Amino acid sequence: MTKAFITGINGQDGSYLAEHLLSLGYEVGGLVRRSSVAENQTYRINPIESKLKTYYGDLIDQNSLADAFRHFKPDLIFNLAAQSHVRLSFDMPGFTAQVNAVGALNVFTAAKENCEGARIYQASSSEMFGTSVDPDNYQRETTPMHPVSPYGCSKLYAYSIARNFRRAYGLHISNGILFNHESPRRGTNFVTAKVVKGALDIKYKKEKFLELGNLDSYRDWGHSYDYTKAMIKLLEYSEPLDIVISTGKAHSVKDLCKVVFSKLGMDYEEHIKINPKFLRPQELPYLQGDSTKAKQILGWEPEFTFETLVEDMIMHFEASYK
Ligand code: NAP
Ligand code: G4F
């Protein structure tokens, strides 16, 4: 196994994954969409760009995937590309389904026809569980899936068609069911990066308040650096698997605000305003993952805790204020 191809290579996870794979000696290729502002689009992979082979393409253009696969000849394919924002999936459910559901089908079909023997990783999500929680307050591989967003529904289709292609055609496709993971490279319209950046704006007197939506939902937040290592362990494992990756600890959005503001010497209650614009038509109230299977089978353990994740993000974002 020497060549790895990543769709969504310039995203948060794609950039960490590419770095890990290069450090392990893999040749790394990836798919990049056409954008009118090319400079910003690839900022996360600019430091390693000379070591990568990138291809222009799009998940909804199956020919572009087939061409890239035929040319690069990957042994491993990581399908990370997606419209990954849950609230925005309510604004554009059709586009979200095209990219996340039909797009994943396009990746599997192009791989089936052009990359015999390749192992495929599908970026599945804890959002697929929706309102479903086991009686012990965890979600795990056996927990029923009842998604509550167009994003969750699109990811459930991709998860299901991956399992179908595995059984029907013998493809080696694994689903990584990842709980929320963040980093200094997280897009600033996700809540962790928004809170860190918003608190810094207040500390450095650029803003007085931060507007958020629902503060009462709980998420199991880990670090993308750790979770992208789990993706590689999953594809290096001999059998295709569906596996949960999580820290096993849930925190509310309110907890997150409390920790971030207090680390910066402030009281969050004096600075947070609720703006209904950031509420969702249906909320997913509680996520907490049990990753026992990943620990036992893959030997995966996260290095970052919630505290060190928050500190890493603050340190990164604060550097641009000084
Ligand atoms: P991200 O930062 O939003 O990255 C998404 C990537 O997909 C970007 O490179 C984006 O390119 C690309 N992309 C979007 N639409 C595309 C299309 N039609 N064709 C080709 N590329 C397209 O997301 P992430 O946090 O790295 O997440 C990686 C994957 O894991 C996603 O599938 C996400 O749904 C899933 N996931 C994430 C989490 C999490 O907490 N981060 C948890 C579970 C699952 P542009 O930059 O050009 O838009
Ligand atoms: O940071 P979020 O937008 O992440 P969300 O919706 O949990 O989705 C992320 O994790 C999924 C895995 O479970 C991934 F599959 C998905 O791709 C993405 O990476 O929101 C987290 C929580 C939500 O309950 C939201 O309602 O924060 C709440 N929130 C409160 N105010 C807010 C805001 N979220 C955002 N983005 N912006 C707010 O102002």
Distance CA 81, CA 230 (A): 17
- Catalytic choice (64, 84, 89, 125): 125
Residue whose CA lies nearest to ligand 1 atom number 34: 84
DSSP string, 12-49: HHHHHHHHHHHHTT-EEEEEE---S-HHHHTTTTGGGG
Amino acid identity, residue 55? Y
Print burial letters for 207-221: b (CB count within 10 Å at least 16), e (below 16): eeebebbbbebbbbb
Distance CA 56, CA 29 (A): 11
Residue 84 CA: nearest ligand 1 atom is 34
CA 295 to ligand 2 center in whole angstroms: 26
User: Checking DSSP bridges between strand 27-32 and strand 52-56, what pairing results, if any?
Assistant: parallel
Residue 185: which of 79, 288, 309 has the closest Cα? Answer: 309
User: Checking DSSP bridges between strand 76-79 and strand 181-182, what pairing results, if any?
Assistant: unpaired
Burial of 156 (0-12, 13-18, 19+ CB in 10 A): buried
Region label for 74, one of left (φ > 0), alpha (ψ between -120 and 50) or beta (otherwise):
beta
Backbone φ and ψ of 96, nearest 5°: -60, -40
Residue 211 CA: nearest ligand 2 atom is 39
Q: How many residues does the chain have?
A: 322
For the chain, give the mean pLDDT: 97
160 classed as catalytic: no
125 classed as catalytic: yes
Ligand 2 pocket by C-beta < 6 Å: which residues?
A: 84, 86-87, 125-127, 179-180, 189-191, 194, 212-214, 217, 219, 253, 278, 280, 283, 287
Print burial letters for 96-120: b (CB count within 10 Å at least 16), e (below 16): bbbbbbbbbbbbbbbbbebbeebbb
CA 213 to ligand 2 center in whole angstroms: 10
Confidence of residue 39 (pLDDT cuts 50, 70, 90): confident
Distance CA 257, CA 264 (A): 11
Distance CA 132, CA 135 (A): 10
Handedness of CA 203, 204, 210, 216 (dihedral sign): negative
How many CB atoms are located within 10 Å of the residue 239 CB? 7
What's the pLDDT at 1?
A: 61
| Planar angle of CA 276, 282, 287, nearest 5 degrees | 105
Superfamily of structural domain 188-219+250-287+304-321: UDP-galactose 4-epimerase, domain 1 (3.90.25.10)
What's the pLDDT at 40?
A: 84
pLDDT exceeds cutoff 70 at 283: yes
| 33-37: average pLDDT | 91
- Catalytic choice (16, 121, 126, 127): 127
How many CB atoms are located within 10 Å of the residue 23 CB? 8
Q: What percent of the chain has pLDDT over 90?
A: 98
Residue with tokens 């004096």: 270
Superfamily of structural domain 3-181+222-245: NAD(P)-binding Rossmann-like Domain (3.40.50.720)
Decide if 2 contacts 72 (C-beta within 8 A).
Answer: no
Domain boundaries, given as residue ranges, for the chain: 3-181+222-245, 188-219+250-287+304-321
Write out the E strands in 226-270: 242-245, 251-252
What are the tokens at 300? 């995966």
Decide if 216 contacts 149 (C-beta within 8 A).
Answer: no
Residue 130: which of 157, 150, 107, 113 has the closest Cα? Answer: 150
pLDDT exceeds cutoff 70 at 81: yes
Give pLDDT tens digits for 160-211.
999 999 999 999 999 999 999 999 999 999 999 999 999 999 999 999 999 9
CA 86 to ligand 2 center in whole angstroms: 7
Decide if 86 contacts 279 (C-beta within 8 A).
Answer: no
Using most ligand atoms within 8 A of CB, pick from 35, 61, 84 the residue to mutate for ligand 1: 84
pLDDT exceeds cutoff 70 at 41: yes
237 classed as catalytic: no
Look at residue 111 and give its three-state secondary structure.
helix
Ligand 1 pocket by C-beta < 6 Å: which residues?
A: 7-8, 10-14, 31, 33, 35, 41, 58-60, 80-84, 99, 103, 123, 125, 178, 180-181, 187
User: What ligand is nearest to the CA atom of residue 178?
Assistant: 1
| 297-304: average pLDDT | 98
| 68-87: average pLDDT | 98
Distance CA 295, CA 301 (A): 6
- Catalytic choice (16, 138, 151, 218): 151
What are the tokens at 264? 């910066």
